[in-house]
């Protein structure tokens, strides 16, 4: 049914007490100036005028931008000239030009929500009626094709099932940001293919993200493209490493990220899918495919996803991004080129001096116990271990300073051949003391459950100018 060029149009539904109450008014208008009625749920309603035009597909409601039923619209020359929402006698009389409408009815009654604005319907209707605009090429599947299997066949998966990126799902993801779908975020290595916000949304859908996670995904992608992070080199290396994503600030709490118990493990949707979305963008947009440009000898499970939030609940702790120049309370994403998790299970130390030396013993193992200044490290300090430092008055700066002191050994112990191990530093470094890490190469974040005297160490890939340095990006909506 086409809309009349001139006249009155009402959108109603049976499942609305106000719409039912107004049956006498519909009859008045039908017998007067004329009224075209569209029903969202039952074309036999309203019975008082012999039913309505069928709008169960909600096209008319969508085209007329109806948010509440009943809605009355006056059209003149095909254009809207007046609108009344819900029931207010004065408003309906103003739109129709008729006095005394519904004289026996209450002066005012609120309407009900239109079926066209129920949760999730906005995107469905936008796609259904052709108003959604996508830059990506649609893939048509047969009626008997399995969408999940189709993603495997096309090489879009990281080995686990992905969520099929339907137009409706992608449109919903795009509503998680104010950024334009065709905005180019940057060129994704290794193929340096341009990545639009829309392409990022497609991969965020496949990863299982919710729309509210999407700004964090975009920030993670932008961080990975900062030259100092060397994402291309990280892909090409035969080493174990991949991007470790650390989220800070109010956004972490807002989207329900985990910084507590099992923060580095499974079970939290935001943690799991944000890191996975970054990896899928690298794979599907940039072409970073294992066995292709990704030449890892062994890899590690974190290359599926490795993402967690830093625990900022203790006011005595200075969050990692603050040390990197960001204001406290800023939502950020930091990337560290890291390998797997190594534990330090010190249950006995109760003084900061003992604990820092204990943790240092594990830190010496990064890369190799006899290698120095070749790898950074990220120490994930648990609450119980941090409490030992805090109760002794040691803040982040003091902890790092003490680590610098204990993470030094005589070159003679680290030289090639020392201890019967041929790996080690060159003979020219045998004299004097050597530091395990380059200046600023040890990084600390806080995370983990309240119970357990243990912390985690994440070793880094090649560090500094010849490798990768951690990077941080502010999250923008």
Where do the domains of the chain lie, and which CATH numbers do they carry? 7-117 (3.40.30.10), 149-474 (no CATH)
Element (H or E) spanning 214, and its range? helix 214-224
CA distance 94 to 106: 17
- 298-310 tens-digit pLDDT: 999 999 999 999 9
Q: Which residue has the tokens 């193992």?
A: 365
- Residues in the chain predicted with pLDDT less than 70, given as ranges, are 1
Instruction: Report how far Cα 114 is from the mean position of its chain's Cα atoms.
Output: 30
The pLDDT value recorded for residue 130 is 84
Q: Which residues are CB-neighbours of 299 under 8 A, at least 6 positions away?
A: 240, 242, 290
Q: Respond yes or no on whether the N-terminal peptide bond of residue 80 is cis (omega within 30° of 0).
A: no
CB–CB of 251/130 below 8 Å? Answer: no
Contact 289, 155 (CB under 8 A): yes
- pLDDT for 11: 98
CA–CA gap between residue 51 and residue 204 (Å, rounded):
45
148: which strand partners? none
Displacement of CA 177 from its chain's centroid (Å): 10
What tokens does 107 get?
A: 């002066």
Using a 10 angstrom Cβ sphere, with 0-12 exposed, 13-18 middle and 19 or more buried, the burial of residue 345 is exposed
pLDDT computed for residue 32 by the predictor = 87
Query: What is the per-residue DSSP string for 69-136?
Result: ESEEEEEETTEEEEEEESEEHHHHHHHH--SSTTTTS-SEE--EE-GGGSTTHHHHHHHHTT----SS
At residue 140, the pLDDT reads: 86
Supply the pLDDT for residue 284: 96
pLDDT value at residue 154: 92
Backbone angles phi, psi at 332, to 5 degrees: -140, 160
């Amino acid at each position: 049914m086409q809309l009349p060029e001139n006249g009155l149009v009402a959108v109603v539904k049976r499942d609305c007490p106000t719409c039912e109450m107004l049956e006498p008014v519909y009859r008045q208008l039908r017998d007067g100036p004329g009224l075209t009625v569209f029903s969202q749920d039952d074309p036999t309603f309203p019975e008082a005028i012999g039913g309505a035009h069928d709008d169960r597909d909600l096209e008319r409601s969508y085209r007329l931008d109806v948010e509440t039923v009943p809605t009355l619209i006056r059209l003149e020359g095909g254009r809207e000239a007046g609108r009344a929402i819900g029931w207010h006698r004065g408003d309906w009389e103003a739109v129709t030009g008729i006095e005394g409408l519904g004289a026996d009815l209450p002066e005012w009654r609120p309407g009900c929500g239109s079926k066209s604005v129920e949760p999730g319907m906005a995107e469905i209707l936008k796609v259904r009626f052709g108003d959604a605009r996508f830059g990506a090429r649609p893939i048509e599947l047969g009626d008997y094709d399995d969408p999940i299997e189709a993603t495997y066949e096309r090489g879009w998966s990281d080995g686990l099932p992905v969520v099929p990126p339907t137009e409706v799902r992608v449109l919903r993801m795009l509503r998680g940001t104010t950024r334009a779908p065709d905005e180019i975020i940057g060129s994704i290595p290794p193929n340096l293919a341009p990545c639009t916000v829309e392409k990022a949304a497609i991969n965020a859908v496949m990863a299982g993200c919710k729309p509210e996670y999407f700004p964090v995904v975009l920030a993670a992608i932008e961080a990975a493209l900062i030259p100092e992070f060397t994402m291309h080199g990280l892909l090409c290396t035969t080493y174990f490493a991949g991007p470790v994503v650390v989220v800070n600030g109010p956004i972490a709490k807002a989207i329900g990220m985990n910084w507590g118990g099992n923060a580095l493990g499974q079970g939290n949707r935001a943690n799991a899918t944000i890191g996975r979305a970054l990896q899928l963008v690298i794979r599907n947009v940039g072409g970073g495919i294992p066995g292709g440009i990704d030449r890892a000898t062994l890899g590690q499970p974190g290359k599926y996803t490795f993402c967690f939030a830093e625990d900022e609940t203790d006011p005595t702790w200075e969050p990692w991004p603050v040390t990197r120049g960001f204001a406290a309370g800023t939502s950020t994403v930091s990337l560290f080129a890291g390998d797997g998790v190594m534990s330090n299970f010190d249950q006995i130390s109760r003084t900061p001096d003992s604990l820092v030396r204990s943790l240092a013993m594990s830190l010496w193992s990064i890369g190799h116990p006899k290698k120095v200044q070749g790898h950074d490290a990220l120490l994930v300090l648990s609450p119980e271990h941090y409490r030992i430092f805090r109760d002794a008055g040691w803040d982040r700066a003091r902890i790092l300073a003490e680590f610098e002191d204990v993470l030094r050994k005589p070159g003679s112990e680290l030289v090639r051949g020392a201890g019967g191990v041929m790996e080690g530093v060159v003979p020219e470094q045998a004299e004097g003391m050597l530091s395990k890490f380059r200046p600023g190469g040890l990084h600390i974040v806080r995370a983990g459950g309240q119970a357990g005297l243990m912390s985690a160490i994440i070793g880094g890939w090649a560090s500094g100018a010849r490798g990768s340095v951690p990077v941080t990006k502010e999250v923008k909506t």
